[in-house]
């Protein structure tokens, strides 16, 4: 593991010496991607420097309240040219919460070609992104937890600016399922305590995250659980699938299917869960597991993806029904990991 104080010192000097800084996080951005990117964005501002935060595609609606969201440039939008110019001009690129450039979608090639200095802060397994300095901790609950370490080390104090703290707390809460996954540990709670000490309003954050969804989103969840859940007891697996037609019927908005994949794991004996969502050209696959069942291995072996041991994702070029057939057919390969 890279030593945090060395990393923080090197990052500080790269930031101080840069003139055109951009921050990038992964496509289908979640609370951790947006929180870690915004945390760095606000931190850089407090250093008296400017930065541009670019996301590959649109933010989910329930995160638009986060401080600084209105300043984010979205690559897959009318802001594409502006975003590409910023990437081309950059002399420092800070990458948060992804381990592979493919997670940047259409912006990947520009970043790969860029001669800018590159910093990576990420908690996914085996980061393959080429960079000048990296802080990689796959055991960390979230990238936001790591950005907290970076920011507090750079400043030499455990309490930080409340705007930065608000962004980081949001990412920690969302990536740990409200501190419920096994990825949270003593350090996670310690960091959360320091963020609360920094003056955040944690109830305001939880209110924004949990209590402002559309009625259609909740009905979509009900429909998935009641009508679209398939359980395969012999492989301790369950999956849900959604077609474009179904998504349209429930007036799907970005982020509406987030978290549905966790529900099948609440069934006694289920250790592996998947949701398949039909997109325009591909089938999006999202996986969750319990214990030592390697969701990331399934995603990497068969669905052009990756992620964490217990939370991973990928894409399939096959139709949704063919993707599901493939998924069911590969399950016997993972029987050895089932604990029950
Ligand atoms: P989610 O299921 O919430 O979209 O993603 C869960 C985890 O899997 C996240 O850590 C995310 O970074 C990773 N992940 C999701 N989709 C992909 C993908 O297409 N490729 C890779 N490499 N990782 C993914
Ligand atoms: Mn994350």
Tokens of 70: 């209105």
Instruction: Show the DSSP H helices in 18-107 as ranges.
Output: 31-46, 80-89
Ligand 1 centroid distance, CA of 291 (Å): 18
Cβ atoms of 63 and 69 closer than 8 Å: yes
| Cα separations in angstroms, 239 against 66, 134, 288, 299 | 32, 36, 10, 14
Residue 262 CB less than 6 A away from ligand 1: no
CA of 338 from ligand 1 middle (Å) equals 22
pLDDT at 339: 83
With a 6 Å cutoff on the Cβ, whether 314 touches ligand 1 is yes
Q: By alpha-carbon position, which residue is closest to atom 23 of ligand 1? A: 306
Query: What Cα–Cα distance (Å) separates residue 279 from each residue in 20, 235, 244?
Result: 35, 27, 7
Residue 305 CB–ligand 1 contact under 6 Å: yes
pLDDT at residue 20, rounded to an integer: 98
Residues 200/167, Cβ–Cβ less than 8 Å: no
- Ligand 1 within 6 A of 307 CB? yes
pLDDT given for residue 90 in this prediction: 98
Q: How far apart are the C-alpha atoms of 229 and 238, rounded to whole Å? A: 7
CA dist., res. 75 & res. 56, Å (int): 5
Phi–psi pair at 119, nearest 5 degrees: -120, 135
- Ligand 1 centroid–CA 313 distance in Å is 4
Closest CA to ligand 1's atom 15:
313
Task: Tell me the whole-structure pTM to 2 decimals.
Answer: 0.95
Residue with tokens 């964490």, as numbered in its chain: 308
Give pLDDT, residue 1. Answer: 45
- Contact 286 CB / ligand 1 (< 6 Å): yes
Residue ranges for the chain with pLDDT beneath 70: 1-2, 340
Distance 303 CA to ligand 1 centre (A): 11
> Atom of ligand 1 at shortest distance to CA of 99?
22
Q: What's the maximum distance between 2 C-alpha atoms anywhere in the chain?
A: 58
Q: Ligand 1 pocket, 57 CB below 6 A? A: no
- State if residue 171 touches ligand 1 by the CB under 6 angstroms criterion: no
State the burial class of residue 53 (Cβ atoms within 10 Å of its Cβ: 0-12, 13-18, 19+).
Answer: buried
pLDDT digits (tens, 9 = 90+) for 160-187: 999 999 999 999 999 999 999 999 999 9
Q: Which of 56, 61, 71, 64 is nearest to 24 (CA)?
A: 56
Distance of CA 223 to the CA centre of its chain: 25
- pLDDT tens for each residue of 125-164: 999 999 999 999 999 999 999 999 999 999 999 999 999 9
Rounded Cα distance between 224 and 9, Å, is 48
Which residue is closest in CA terms to ligand 1's atom 18? 314
């Amino acid at each position: 593991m890279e030593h945090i104080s060395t990393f923080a010192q090197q990052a500080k000097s790269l930031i101080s010496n840069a003139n055109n800084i951009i921050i990038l996080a992964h496509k289908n951005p979640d609370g951790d991607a947006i929180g870690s990117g915004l945390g760095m964005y606000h931190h850089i501002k407090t250093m008296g420097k400017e930065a541009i935060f670019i996301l590959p595609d649109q933010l989910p609606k329930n995160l638009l309240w986060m401080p600084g969201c209105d300043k984010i440039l979205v690559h897959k939008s009318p802001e594409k040219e502006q975003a590409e110019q910023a990437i081309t001009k950059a002399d420092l690129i800070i990458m948060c919460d992804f381990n592979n450039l493919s997670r940047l979608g259409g912006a990947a090639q520009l970043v790969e070609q860029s001669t800018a200095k590159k910093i990576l802060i990420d908690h996914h397994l085996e980061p393959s992104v080429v960079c000048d300095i990296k802080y990689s901790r796959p055991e960390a609950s979230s990238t936001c937890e790591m950005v907290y370490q970076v920011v507090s080390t750079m400043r030499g104090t455990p309490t930080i600016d409340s705007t930065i703290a608000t962004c980081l707390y949001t990412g920690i809460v969302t990536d740990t399922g409200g501190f419920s996954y096994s990825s949270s540990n003593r350090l996670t709670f310690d960091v959360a305590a320091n963020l609360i000490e920094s003056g955040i309003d944690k109830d305001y954050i939880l209110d924004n995250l949990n209590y402002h969804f559309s009625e259609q989103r909740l009905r979509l969840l009900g429909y998935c659980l009641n009508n679209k859940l398939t359980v395969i007891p012999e492989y301790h697996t369950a999956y849900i699938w959604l077609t474009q037609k179904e998504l349209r019927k429930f007036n799907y908005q970005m982020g509406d299917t987030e978290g549905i994949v966790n529900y099948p794991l609440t069934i006694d004996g289920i250790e592996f869960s998947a949701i398949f969502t039909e997109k325009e050209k591909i089938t999006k696959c999202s996986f969750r597991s319990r214990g030592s069942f390697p969701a990331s291995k399934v995603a990497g072996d068969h669905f052009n993806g990756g992620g964490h041991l217990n939370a991973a994702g990928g894409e399939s070029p096959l139709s949704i029904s063919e993707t599901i057939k493939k998924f069911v057919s590969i399950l016997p390969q993972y029987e050895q990991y089932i604990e029950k």
